[in-house]
Structure 1
Amino acid sequence: MKQHGQADTSPLGLVRSLRNNRELIIALTRREVAGRYRGSVMGLLWSFLYPLLMLAVYTFVFSVVFKSRWPSGGGSKAEFALVLFTGLMVFSVFSECVNRAPGLVLNNINYVKKVVFPLEILPVVSLLSSSFHMLVSTLVWTGFYLVYFGTPPITALLLPVVLAPLAFFTLGLTWMLASLGVYLRDVGQVVGVATTVLLFMSPVFYAIDSLPESYRPIMRANPLTATIEQARDVMIWGRGLDLQVWLVMLAVGFLVAWLGYAWFQGTRRGFADVL
């Protein structure tokens, strides 16, 4: 696809681009993951240590200092840690991609000006890189569960299915923000504040049932809420998918992904002029 040519903004164009560039996407994802830890003494070991540290810190603060307990759980600190960590894992995939989105094109100016490069794959690489760290965090979660509770429920295998709608939704937002970041340099600052607010407006540190009834509809309008709750259902409490909610979220995710892709492809012709 040529940088200044007429870009295909249809859903089929999106699928075609991902299929045609799949080898490049894989290569860039590997470079992205390896490059994050290049030069450090412990290398990829940091990807295990970071979630362990965050799990320990958040568990201490909320279960020991604030003495928080999950309403639908057994009340143990170990279970609270797993519930909290599950929400953090889901949110981290979203926030990492969205926070990096405004700088995706800005940090790859050579691809814009000097090379015929499929810029639309950069958000995909970002999502796959974040998914790798989600996978590592899931391994840490599984080890913690095995030590304290034994074998996780079989429904935990549904986690990739649960995350699919959020993946499409995140990808669409990333395309939109990557384009906006080229034209409006303040977008990165706004996104950083917005994701921090969203963290505390999502059911990560508390259950929706603990909120007053009047606030619950607002919380459920948050696109992250359904995914976080269903991730906990399948991973911790052995419940299946709420298929109706999942299908609605999947449809919304597809729509946002296509709109984000169309926006990116429609605005990319001006990248070289701005940069």
Structure 2
Amino acid sequence: MNERRASELVAVLAEPFSAFGRHASLTRELTKRDILGRYRGASFGLLWAILSPFLMLLIYAVAFGSIFKSRWPQQVEGGPSYALIMFAGLIVHGFFTECLSRAPGLIVGNANYVKRVVFPLEILPWPMVMSAFFHAGVSMFVLLGLQLIQVGPPPWTFVFFPLVLAPLALLCAAIGWLFASLAVYLRDISQITGVLSAAMLFLSSALVPVEVISTDYQFLFRMNPLTFIIDQMRDVTLWGVMPDWIGLGAYAAVSLMICFLCYGWFRATRSGFADVL
């Protein structure tokens, strides 16, 4: 009896991650379709995955490096430029924003899946997260390539960047379940994602280090879930500092708890999707 209960508990805990188990092949195909479909019809095709972050980095290099002459407190002569430091933070924000902006359309935009009783709707956030991971990885290699040209070989700690993003990926999956469900019943949800994305950018350490912010507002910046990941991303890709494993572990634990809560909400509201759509 105890073994049966244990197996049932394991099955319940593993259910939100069935996209990597019994639905792995379907998740892989949806992710592939998502990535390739974004550039279908474009003259440069998948090359835009590299061109877009490169052009964005070029804009920030000109704007903040040449025009505003901005500097970062940790910036040293011969080290990473302000544009590279900022770009490392924008990669994290871009990862989050891609998931946030697309989450409300996961169910509303795939109404045909709702009518198929056998289709596992619960896996839809994961192809979105994996697609965002792909684009973050491409942007990261653009960052490392320009870092190689500008200051020399990047620190070996850059290999940890997927582990730094992993806890945020859990949080983004949770947002996917929550916003996808809410958008079915409240279509205005999609209208607030742009404002929320901008708030998450300007109230994080993506553009300015928290240390230079007035002490009255530092707490607000540190409470932003992007700030810690952005700082960790810069540590491993630019400064050669090992990740804060304890901090990442705590972040992952909280994200995992939020995952289960949002997945539970998604499962509880799923039965009404077909009636509303």
TM-score normalised by the shorter chain: which range applies? over 0.9
Aligned to 1:252: 254
Cα separation, 2, equivalents of 1:232 and 1:60: 20
Task: Report the CA distance between 1:181 and its aligned residue.
Answer: 0.7
Does the 8 Å CA contact 1:59/1:77 hold for their aligned counterparts? no
* Map of 1:243 onto structure 2: 245
- Partner in structure 2 of residue 61 of structure 1: 63
Equivalent of 1:142, from 138, 144, 162? 144
Structure-2 change in CA distance of 1:116 and 1:229 (3 Å): same
Determine the C-alpha separation between the residues in 2 that align with 1:75 and 1:226. Answer: 26
Q: In structure 2, what residue type is equivalent to 1:74?
A: V
Q: How many residues align?
A: 268
Is 1:170 the equivalent of 2:176? no
One-letter code aligned to 2:248? W
Query: What does residue 5 of structure 2 align with?
Result: none
Residue matched to 1:118:
120
Instruction: Specify the SS of the correspondent of 1:163.
Output: helix
Q: Is the 8 A contact 1:169 1:257 kept in 2?
A: yes
Unpaired segments of 5 or more residues in structure 1?
A: 1-7
Larger relative CO (CA 8 A, sep 6+): 1 or 2? 1
Does the residue aligned with 2:42 lie in a helix, a strand or coil? coil
When normalised by structure 2's length, the TM-score is 0.92
Percentage of matched positions with identical amino acids: 43
Q: Is the 8 Å Cα contact of residues 206 and 230 (structure 2) preserved in structure 1?
A: yes
How big is the shift at 1:75?
Answer: 5.9
Work out whether 1:198 is the aligned partner of 2:200.
yes
Q: Distance in 1 between matches of 2:17 and 2:51?
A: 36
The one of 21, 26, 29 equivalent to 2:28 is: 26
Q: Does the 8 A contact of 2:80 with 2:238 survive in 1?
A: no
1:64 positional shift: 2.5
Q: Is the 8 A contact 1:98 1:170 kept in 2?
A: yes
1:82 matched residue in structure 2 = 84
CA RMSD of aligned residues (A): 1.7
The range that moved more, 108-117 or 59-68, is 59-68
From 49, 52, 68, the counterpart of 1:50: 52
1:11 partnered with 2:23: no
Report deviation, 1:218.
1.5
Q: Give the deviation of 1:62 after TM superposition.
A: 2.0
Match of 2:130 in 1: 128
Ranges in structure 2 where 5+ consecutive residues have no aligned partner: 1-9
- Give the Cα–Cα distance (whole angstroms) in 1 for the partners of residues 220 and 77 of structure 2: 27
Match of 1:119, as an amino acid? L
